[in-house]
Amino acid sequence: MSDRTGAIAVRGMKERTRRGASLLFIPGILIVVVFLLMPVVLLILRSFSSSPAGNPDIFPLTIDNYRVFIQQFGYYASHFGKTVLLAALGALLGALVAYPLALGIVTTRSRSLRFAYVFFALTPLLVSVVIRSYGWQVLLGPTGIFGQFAPGTNGFIGTDLAVVIGLGHLATPFVLLSLLPVLDNLDMSLIRAARGLGANAVQVFFQVVLTRSMPGLVSGLVVSFAVGATVVVTPQLLGGRTDRLVPNLIFDEMTVQFDWNLAASLSTVLMVVIALVAVAVSLLESWLSPLARARRASLSMGR
């Protein structure tokens, strides 16, 4: 009898402490709501607004800001298409640079040397995007070490190539950061086993290292893509005056046309496009990657 009341008392206490513990989530939830969720909600509300720029009041609501996408479908489709393409190419270029860097870093034996490599590889993150883009403007401009070989009088400035190079530079540290932990956790005996079975360095890379690091590579690519598709300065400084990217259109609507409502609807559509691409790439990875396929097969068979 006394036993049972004891048990009830203990359970009551547990419930109370658990309820108390859940209160600890509140600061975190507040930060997420105030700093992440609210701006997005306000942005989406603004994209349905018809009140003039500068007016904090968003009512009355309208869908006119989205109607322009249907009215001028060709114009917006080509700008969004180009943004997606250049951001994707930039992310791929970043991956091409970051992968060998990551391999070099994880195979470094000395700890201090490794730290130095990681530090220097990530220094681009310490420098503003504006400075980095101006840097490329010099390098790719008519008198720069790369630009002097360009056919025109303006170096490579104003070409899509220049934009892709600039975006690739932005992407490199992000891909590197997501590759390092995956490659660090790669079981060295897998590489030794493959070598012992007769695989040369190229076969080891494509059949073992690349397959095993695919999850990290893909998440790095997705992050880089999102950064590349939203950055304003790089295409502004390195890209052409015509055929501009969506972030520049948004910037113009905000500061030149002063149409915040259209800027908001452009931003919302861009956000949705980036999210769709990210989801599509992740789905593709989990369908195609042999590693993910093996994991599914093991799961369905049970242990």
Partner 1 sequence: MTVSYKGFTAVADVSFTVEQGKTLVLLGPSGCGKSSLLNAIAGFVPVTSGRIQLGGREITSVPPQQRHMSMVFQTHALFPHLSVIDNVMFGLKVWHGPKRSKAERRERAMDALRIVHLEDKAERYPDSLSGGERQRVAIARALVVNPEVLLLDEPLSSLDARLREELRFELARISAEQHLTMIYVTHDQEEAFSLGDEIAVMRAGSIQQRSSASQIYNEPRTAFVARFIGGSNLLKCTVPSARDDVAQVSGRPVRCRNPWSVPQGEAYLALRGHALTLHAPVADGNGLPATVTDVRYMGAYSAVGLVLGDGQSLRASVAGTRDLPLRAGDDVFVEWIPEDATLLVEERS
211 and 291 Cβ atoms separated by less than 8 Å: yes
Of 3-11, 116-124, 194-202, 258-266, the window that binds partner 1 (rule: CB under 8 A) is 194-202
50 and 68 Cβ atoms separated by less than 8 Å: no
Tokens of 221: 């690519």
Rule CB under 8 A: say whether 190 interacts with partner 1: yes
Given candidates 194, 221, 246, 270, which one binds partner 1 under the rule CB under 8 A?
Answer: 194
Rule CB under 8 A: say whether 111 interacts with partner 1: no
The Cα–Cα gap between 90 and 169 comes to 8
Rule CB under 8 A: say whether 210 interacts with partner 1: no
Residues 6+ apart with CB under 8 A from 226: 87, 274, 278
Given candidates 17, 148, 211, 257, which one binds partner 1 under the rule CB under 8 A?
Answer: 211
Number of Cβ atoms within 10 Å of the Cβ of 177: 19
Rule CB under 8 A: say whether 189 interacts with partner 1: yes
**Total chain residues near partner 1 (CB under 8 A):** 28
Tokens of 89: 């190419």
Smallest distance, partner 1 to C-beta of residue 125, A? 32
Q: Give the x/- contact pattern for partner 1 in 125-154, rule: CB under 8 A.
A: ------------------------------
Smallest distance, partner 1 to C-beta of residue 272, A? 33
Task: State the alpha helices, DSSP H only, in 107-141.
Answer: 111-122, 129-140
270 and 40 Cβ atoms separated by less than 8 Å: no
Given candidates 15, 184, 187, 243, which one binds partner 1 under the rule CB under 8 A?
Answer: 187
Give the total residue count for the chain.
303
Rule CB under 8 A: say whether 295 interacts with partner 1: yes
